[in-house]
Chain A
Amino acid sequence: MITRRSFVAASAGLAMSALAAIPGHAQETVKVGLILPMTGPFASTGRQVEAGVRTYMAMHGDTVAGKKIELVVRDDASTADQTRRIAQELVVNEGVNVLGGFGLTPLALAVAPVINQAKIPAVVMAAATSSITEQSDYYVRSSFTLPQASVPVGTWAAENGLKRVVTLVSDYGPGIDAETWFTKEFTAKGGEIVEAVRVPLQNPDFAPYLQRVRDADPDAIFVFLPSGVGSLFMKQFADRGLAEAGIKLIATGDVTDDDLLNDMGQPALGAITGHHYSAAHDSPENKAYVEAFKSAHNGMRPNFMSVGGYDGMHLIYAALEKTGGDATGEALIEAMKGLSWTSPRGPITIDPQTRDIVQNIYMREVKEADGELYNVEFATYEAVKDPAKAEASGQ
């Protein structure tokens, strides 16, 4: 139990001294602590993010600006208090310079006191609730926010002749975010929300909700569901004959998750989604990424979560490059602000004011190509800021 380092810390009498000692014992290596859901219902998120991170390191080596990058991966056990404790132990006992990962919003929020006190950047690679980056000046996001993905879908729907829409979302934070922002945009552009359905997170059967949608007889249904649940929904949607009844399916890209899309098969064809990343994105960066990812992970296809991990790692590398290897938290977070680069998903920028990501949102349709299903992009909304923050700064 008593590790040597903790013993040293103990004899120094104060845990704070261990904190002060961090730059001392981390001179040659820069440690990145990844806290991810490795078990439990969101384990596939953790797997994709970790794979994205490792792919980046495989493609770009593990040294940057003369420093060796070392990963420390921990399971968040899906509880906020453990996430906080792990974050703290990583900082104090492991001497981690940057934290990363965070699968769910409350777990990301729980580390705010730690990063504030330790002055260490936390790169949010998955969690998608808008408000996270406002809770501490040390959060940076490399994934996306749900308002960011939902608003363009609303714009597109209004501009493409859809008048009456039913929204169907999971009844928790991100779902409500998606519902709110889609509704806002869609009604502002003249559309009408016929009904807003919220589905409990633990919901084995969509039958009653789909029947409600069918009875409301809208032009389209806007859906947000976490990815695994989303694929089940797609099947039941098709099974109930909603498509034949003339109801279009529009959604955020979580529903047509690249990781599962092939297994969904026919029912997914024709679904229109708006999101920041598709494995079919046509660019040399993405081709290289998909290839490296697939060969390193047994043919698994990268999804939108993995690219959050990949770009999160790039963010850390680029910031270190910029500081010339200075891995203190303050220097890193300053260097991260305003960075922009071409990611596999397209051009992205870290907004210097909000530390949130600014990126293109693509409208895609599920199509078959070479015997596989892909989200094929057909329209682009360029440089979309997180609308919640854009609105706040506009006022």
Chain B
Amino acid sequence: MLIAKNVTKKFGELVAVNNLSFEVKKGQVYGIAGPNGAGKSTVYNLITGNYSYEGKIEFNGQDITGLPPHRIAKAGIARTFQIPEIFPSLTVQKSIRLGSRFGARGGLDLEHTDKIISFVGLTSERFQNTRLLNLLGKKKLMIGAALATKPEILMLDEPMAGSNAQEIKSMMELIKKINQELGITIIIIEHFMKVLTELTETLLIIESGTMICCDKPEIVTSDPRVIESYLGDAYAESK
């Protein structure tokens, strides 16, 4: 469904992503992890057209290399950010409708947006100003706005960051629902390894923009290279 072929991104002398190739299959929950500065968010920025790069990215057989972000959103790839990005003067409903109005193929779909508001659990806050939402609410709103674009792939960037145990549980349930009930392929960047091992079917570990390992989570978390460069001995011993 999404294939990256020999993708490289340099910022001056710094090689942020180095000859990276991977494939995300339809219906998967695909995890990406690695140390801070490994290039995980840069990979997202490359897929969503925010940076130019060497190599090629294909989505559903179509070459999306060089397309601008709004065209990629329209093609069916949506993303969220680590820090919830909201429109502070708009209500929850209007923010989610923006996603449908601009990102969705076929334009504004009020029925769909109402379903999305309910799906992400913001029905009672629908007329509330977005800046009044708590952190979990803002994250759900961001996901809702992305879902309103009717994506085939949803890319989540550290959705658990800053959340407590209850919020993590709630977010994991939502991600599973999006994947299973809406049939949307998920790519998730996350630092919580337990979250990744529970949610994902394939896990890609990168360091300094280079792939270290890509396999099933149980294999990846036992790989000596991953333990050495990312997880540490304490994680291996706790398993």
Q: Are the chains A and B members of one assembly?
A: no
> Taking beta carbons and an 8 Å cutoff, which residues of A are in contact with B?
none
> Taking beta carbons and an 8 Å cutoff, which residues of B are in contact with A?
none
